Structure 1
Amino acid sequence: MKLQKLRKFLREWRGVLITIPTVALLVIGLRGMGFLQLLELATLDNFFRWRPNELPESRILLIELTESDIQDLRQWPISDRKLAELLQKIKKFQPRVIGLDIYRDLPVESGHQELVSVFKTTPNLIGVAKISGSKTLYSVAPPPELLKLNQIATSNIIIFDIDGKVRRGLISFQRKGKTFFSLGAKLAAIYLEKEGVKSEQIDKKLNTYQLGKSKFFRLSGNYGGYVNIDARGQQILLNFRSHKCRGKKRQKECRVFPTVSIGDILNDRVSGELIRDRIVLIGSNAESVKDNFFTPFESTPGVEIHGELSSQIISAALDGRALIKSLSEKSEILLIWFLSYIGAILGFNLLRIRWKIVSIFLVGVGIIGSSYIAFLFGWWIPVIPSLLALVGAGITITIYINYVERKDRLTIMALLGQHVSPKIAQAVWRDRYQLVKEGQLLGQKMTATVLFSDIKGFTSITEKTDPETLMFWLNDYMKVMSQVVIDNDGVVDKFIGDAVMAVFGVPIPSTTEKEIAKDAIAAVNCAVEMGEKLHQLNQQWQEKGLPIVIMRVGIATGTVVAGSLGSRQRLNYTTIGDTVNIAARLESYNKSLQGNSCRILINEQTYQYIKDNFSTEFVECVQLKGREQSVNIYQVFGKNSNLK
């Protein structure tokens, strides 16, 4: 019994069981090969843009070189004297740390010694160098004076993704045995040190460390939606601040960080309170200098990206602002499998296409919404693989079901042909999973009523009628009789020459006495109507000079076996059993008994079910040919007035 239940389960659910792993593995494969990475990064960009606005970062001040500053100074690069003057004016307002994002490996006359003096006397000034990827250490060297004082950082913060955008920040990396910190990271470390916050390593192997209120994790090659990226060094995903200016035309009064120009400082247009105890970042935002990079929002100056990294580290350590974490690869794979399952179940259980579309759409919206909410709390959960698994499984199972249903429908229609009523066809289709197996209608033991009809004297008619006329005449007869069977919810089992075999109560079994009685009444009522139709046909045939006939009908109720019979090349749906033999014998019994256009004989079981609905008469109890047991035979003469 358990094995049968298992087989039934596997048969009914095999489409789902095939779809789930197929779609899941395909999506996992596409993701693993990086085909979904661009879509995932675009989704991440939208999450950044949708996020609610945040207050500007008040601990950082950007001092930018603008195109107007270049016109006023009438020189680029800015001269050492002007740069020294700029730094002196900033120093007097006591910033916590100054980051100079302007290369100064060579003198820019005039005033070089003045600048050297400022470098030597400003312990909280950090200059930049660009570390080379070739044999030489620097592609752009740092200011020599700052290098001697170990007051340098690298400008190698910019890490491009495959679409040319910047989404990752570099905290530190090693080159020729030395550890270099990016400008943003070093400025943040100096700022936090004065707050009494220092990093504590948690896991050396995973390069995980605690900094204030947050744990910093090293970015892996397959972090979130990334696939096999270059994750060398200590990288983190930049958690860009959202602000009303994002995505709009950049304006001075609409910035992520408080921002002034170099000209504002040189011309004493900036309050000292804007500088005091802050990180001050000096860099370029002039179009002619081209130090801008694409981020999820817009073209962003490099100095602002340094500021983003500093702000992210400081706010995470002091305020607990979320760092963007990701699920483990195993968790992402499980999520893909789960959503493949959901898509397959929705596609399998919901019958109408529109409900499948609506349900999958709603679940898809739920995936996007829940991923966005998770993002607000600092989690990057890949959306595209999840959606692809959901939609892919839903579409695949729908296509599979349509294929199976078409195949089953063709099987059922091939077996039953046009010889069932729409009501029975609908019932067969409803229960197709229980009825159809391996292209066949399963054999079932059931109680049914079998009807056999035959034309009296058909052999002599064939001798007197030419073949063409005979075929037309017989088809006319068969068409009318088979329609009567169908109208009474019977199944035309077969035509045997001039004989018709019909069964009532198949292929959907009747399991209650009420249902069995209904089948028996329908069979006898069918026989009576066949006689009425034959009477009408005789009148038409007589007018056309065609033969007129009478018919004999035998009806028996009892146990039968109904199902597909034959080979793959020739397969028919039929009914067999002792009840079929009884009905056939009753049709041919005592041909001298008359009954107007149609003589109807029934067995005892049929009589017990129909006796209150039809006019009947007991004939005799007789042992039919080929049977050992006797059978009570009754003749039906017509309907009683109480037959509905």
Structure 2
Amino acid sequence: MSKFSDKIRSVRTQLGKLFKPSLAFARIVLIASAVVTVPLIAVRQVGILESAELSAYDLMLRLRPDESPDPRLLIVGITESDIQRLRQWPISDGKIAEILQKLEAMQPRVIGLDILRDVPQGEGRSELTALLQKSDRIIGVCLVTDGSTDNPGSPPPPGISKDSFGFADFSVDRGGILRRALLFMKPPAIDVNPSEKHPCNDSSEVLFSFNLRLALRYLQSEGINPKLDANQSLWLGSTQIKQLADNEGGYKNADVRGYQVLINYRSRRQPANQVRLTDVLEGKIDPNLVKDKIVLIGYTTETVKDLFYTPYSAGKQKNQFMPGIVAHAQVVSQLLSAVLDQRPLFWFWPEWAEILWISGWSIVGGTLAWRIAHPARLALAYLAMLGVCCGISFGIFLSGGWLPAVAPSLALIVTGSSIVSADRFNKSAYGQAISKKVKQVFKIEINEQQKDDEVEEVLNKASIEKLKKVREEFKTSHKEAPATEPYQIPELNVGSPEPSKAQTSPEDLSPELAKTQSLPEDFSPATVGSSDSSKTQSMPEDYLAQLHQKAKEYKHRSPLVRSNHPQTDVPTNTNGSPSSGETQPDEDLERSLQAKAQKIRERREAAKREARKSQDLPETED
């Protein structure tokens, strides 16, 4: 069992050494990724990156190829040329009634009149009112109040039915850019006079938008009717028109009151075929452009401030605005294409998936910085990964998905830059000095290999059991050991004057050496009495020092020509030094003294270790 445990420990140690670089890599990269990703997600949540993400959305929309005009729609635009030729501003009620009659004769499926007619304009008011009440093809518009008494909103044309008008309002982002469409809403509450009360400032009414009314009227002839599910989500047939949430896509805490969707623009120039108002009056248009189509009538001139900035505006120097009637055509085409052509609406990942997306690119950036040391190669790798990140985002955008693009790009760059900067700082002299100072302050001195070995030893059950067994044996042996008298260290006459070199012989040192020989074999500081521990511990050290000093003096004393004892002759060489036959015993004596001194040191250290072990073992058991 012990051999099997040893083999397991050996395999674990080898695996630890094998995967240690990978573990270090994972630890550094994951920590750097977390340090960068968490603040980045927090910054994104408070909306600091919203403008950058919306700009990235606009760029991807401009890079996307335009689609062909929707053949189900026709725009009748009132241009500046039409105003000059008719010499009317605004266009009179009679002229509007004439245009509607000519278009109805061509049998369109529905006509949308994006012109406010709440106040009479010129002649022909009665004709226009009668036509609006009689026709079931015409959809009028109104403007919803903003909740202030100065803006009670504009009512729909008089005499028109409740199902034959819709509000023409849009929800615009900061900077006046049109990215979202309102499909239906409740007007905000407002305190107005009864004479100013109308459906577009009545907070109890649920109003449909102008573009949704046109799409629903067209789809009803196809047998498709709207419905709301239990979650109040709009369904047109089998297609769900999902409501935009306040934190979807690049938006953070957006104002999404009402039922809003992100506009999936069809084209930057012409989402549908377009003709001028005077062409209709003069009969210059092909009836096939009108028959069974949705016809939208509205101003396209800049004289009327019914214009919007769009995501396409940043890429233009001229004609940066999109007329309101064209924007309505974009939304109508989007709804019809989603239901009839399965053209995708915009979809979004859930919040947790976006966090994983950002974290993944942060790890990629850290991995590049860890693996690639060459600056030029690292820069090229970052450019390539940025291209991959943006390419994936754009590819998903083409299929209708909007993923964050700015946040993962920042995570990629910042994580890699932080690892590179930290590595260079640690290798610099200043960084090493700071690291050394920190270690001194906090007394950080860690041997990683020793730490791993100690942790492995502690976690090994067999090692713990072995320690417990040793502890029990130590307790038993300590109880059974007989008490011994403390050994008295022989005193050396340190204070007596040393004999001169000329009068000293090996025999003169014999009493001192005899004392050395009389030192017991089992001497150790642990056997000395504990009444005066400091004195006891210092005595062996003084004793050893004296032994060394005596040995050195004996070795280097002046050579003797003749011993004081008559029976001993010391042979000498020609230079007066003792011959080799007599120096050999001196060297043996010195080695003997050194061996005994070393043995004393070892026994003293062993006693100290035993004392420490007896103190540590109870803590290990706990």
Name the TM-score class by shorter chain. Answer: 0.5 to 0.7
Residue-by-residue CA offset, 1:19-78 (whole Å, 9 max, x unaligned): 111110111111112111111111111111111231111101000110011111212111
Equivalent AA in structure 2 for residue 223 of structure 1: E
Match of 1:140 in 2: 154
* Cα shift at 1:177: 2.1
Match of 1:224 in 2: 249
Match of 2:85 in 1: 72
* Cα shift at 1:149: 5.1
CA contact (8 A) 1:343 1:394 kept: yes
Match of 2:108 in 1: 95
Residue-by-residue CA offset, 1:146-186 (whole Å, 9 max, x unaligned): 1x453110011x21112320000111112312111111111
| 2:386 pairs with 1:371 | no
After superposition, the Cα gap between the structure-2 partners of 1:12 and 1:297, relative to the gap in structure 1 and judged at 3 Å, is closer
Equivalent AA in structure 1 for residue 251 of structure 2: Y
Equivalent AA in structure 2 for residue 218 of structure 1: Q
CA contact (8 A) 1:154 1:180 kept: yes
Distance 1:115 1:266 in 2: 16
CA contact (8 A) 2:426 2:432 kept: no
After superposition, the Cα gap between the structure-2 partners of 1:238 and 1:387, relative to the gap in structure 1 and judged at 3 Å, is same
SS at match of 1:62: strand
Distance 2:395 2:593 in 1: 82
Distance 2:226 2:38 in 1: 41
CA contact (8 A) 2:425 2:431 kept: no
Distance 2:162 2:447 in 1: 90
Distance 1:163 1:392 in 2: 29
Distance 2:127 2:58 in 1: 45
Equivalent AA in structure 1 for residue 66 of structure 2: N
Match of 1:16 in 2: 29
Equivalent AA in structure 2 for residue 394 of structure 1: G
Residue-by-residue CA offset, 1:467-490 (whole Å, 9 max, x unaligned): xxxxxxxxxxxxxxxxxxxxxxxx
Residue-by-residue CA offset, 1:74-107 (whole Å, 9 max, x unaligned): 1211111111101011110011001100000011
With 170-179 and 271-280 compared, the bigger mean Cα shift is at 170-179
Equivalent AA in structure 1 for residue 106 of structure 2: F
After superposition, the Cα gap between the structure-2 partners of 1:301 and 1:345, relative to the gap in structure 1 and judged at 3 Å, is same
CA contact (8 A) 2:25 2:370 kept: no
CA contact (8 A) 2:142 2:156 kept: yes
Match of 1:636 in 2: none
Q: Pairwise mapping of residues 519-598 of structure 1 onto structure 2 (< 5 A)?
A: none
After superposition, the Cα gap between the structure-2 partners of 1:19 and 1:442, relative to the gap in structure 1 and judged at 3 Å, is closer
SS at match of 2:275: strand
* Cα shift at 1:287: 1.5
Distance 1:624 1:220 in 2: 92
Which one of 222, 228, 241 corresponds to residue 195 of structure 1? 222
Which one of 24, 49, 54 corresponds to residue 41 of structure 1? 54
Q: Pairwise mapping of residues 219-368 of structure 1 onto structure 2 (< 5 A)?
A: 219-242=244-267, 246=268, 255-298=270-313, 299-368=321-390
Q: Pairwise mapping of residues 413-432 of structure 1 onto structure 2 (< 5 A)?
A: none
After superposition, the Cα gap between the structure-2 partners of 1:347 and 1:105, relative to the gap in structure 1 and judged at 3 Å, is same
Residue-by-residue CA offset, 1:519-551 (whole Å, 9 max, x unaligned): xxxxxxxxxxxxxxxxxxxxxxxxxxxxxxxxx
Distance 2:595 2:113 in 1: 112
Distance 1:234 1:328 in 2: 19
Q: What fraction of aligned residue pairs are identical, expressed as a percent?
A: 34
* Cα shift at 1:13: 5.0
Distance 2:209 2:162 in 1: 17
CA contact (8 A) 1:213 1:319 kept: no
Residue-by-residue CA offset, 1:183-213 (whole Å, 9 max, x unaligned): 11110011011111123434x33x3233235
Structure 1 gaps, min length 5: 247-253, 415-436, 445-589, 592-620, 629-644
Residue-by-residue CA offset, 1:217-264 (whole Å, 9 max, x unaligned): 11000110001010111110000013xxx3xxxxxxx62210011111
Which one of 155, 167, 172 corresponds to residue 160 of structure 1? 172
**TM-score (normalised: structure 2):** 0.63
Match of 1:121 in 2: 134
SS at match of 2:140: strand
CA contact (8 A) 2:33 2:415 kept: yes
Structure 2 gaps, min length 5: 1-8, 188-202, 314-320, 437-442, 451-554, 557-586, 597-622
| Aligned-pair Cα RMSD in Å | 3.2
After superposition, the Cα gap between the structure-2 partners of 1:187 and 1:135, relative to the gap in structure 1 and judged at 3 Å, is same
Distance 1:339 1:273 in 2: 53
Equivalent AA in structure 2 for residue 165 of structure 1: I
Equivalent AA in structure 2 for residue 160 of structure 1: V
Structure with larger Rg: 2
CA contact (8 A) 1:212 1:318 kept: no
* Cα shift at 1:119: 1.0
* Cα shift at 1:7: 9.0
Distance 1:208 1:348 in 2: 48
Equivalent AA in structure 1 for residue 122 of structure 2: E
* Cα shift at 1:129: 0.4
SS at match of 1:336: helix
Distance 2:132 2:114 in 1: 14
Distance 2:186 2:162 in 1: 19
* Cα shift at 1:215: 2.0
Match of 1:466 in 2: none
Distance 2:145 2:595 in 1: 104
Distance 1:443 1:179 in 2: 72
After superposition, the Cα gap between the structure-2 partners of 1:12 and 1:90, relative to the gap in structure 1 and judged at 3 Å, is closer
Distance 2:179 2:360 in 1: 29
Distance 2:126 2:244 in 1: 43
CA contact (8 A) 1:165 1:296 kept: yes
More helix per residue: 2
After superposition, the Cα gap between the structure-2 partners of 1:627 and 1:276, relative to the gap in structure 1 and judged at 3 Å, is farther
**TM-score (normalised: structure 1):** 0.61
**Relative contact order: is structure 1 or structure 2 higher (C-alpha 8 Å, sep ≥ 6)?**
2
After superposition, the Cα gap between the structure-2 partners of 1:332 and 1:261, relative to the gap in structure 1 and judged at 3 Å, is same
Distance 2:360 2:593 in 1: 65
SS at match of 2:185: strand
After superposition, the Cα gap between the structure-2 partners of 1:367 and 1:101, relative to the gap in structure 1 and judged at 3 Å, is same
* Cα shift at 1:353: 2.4
CA contact (8 A) 1:15 1:401 kept: no
* Cα shift at 1:401: 1.6
Aligned length: 420
Match of 2:233 in 1: 208
Distance 2:228 2:128 in 1: 38
* Cα shift at 1:399: 1.0
Distance 1:196 1:267 in 2: 35
More strand per residue: 1
Which one of 75, 95, 98 corresponds to residue 85 of structure 1? 98
SS at match of 2:44: helix
Distance 2:592 2:322 in 1: 101
Equivalent AA in structure 2 for residue 115 of structure 1: L
SS at match of 2:186: strand
* Cα shift at 1:407: 6.1
Which one of 44, 49, 60 corresponds to residue 31 of structure 1? 44
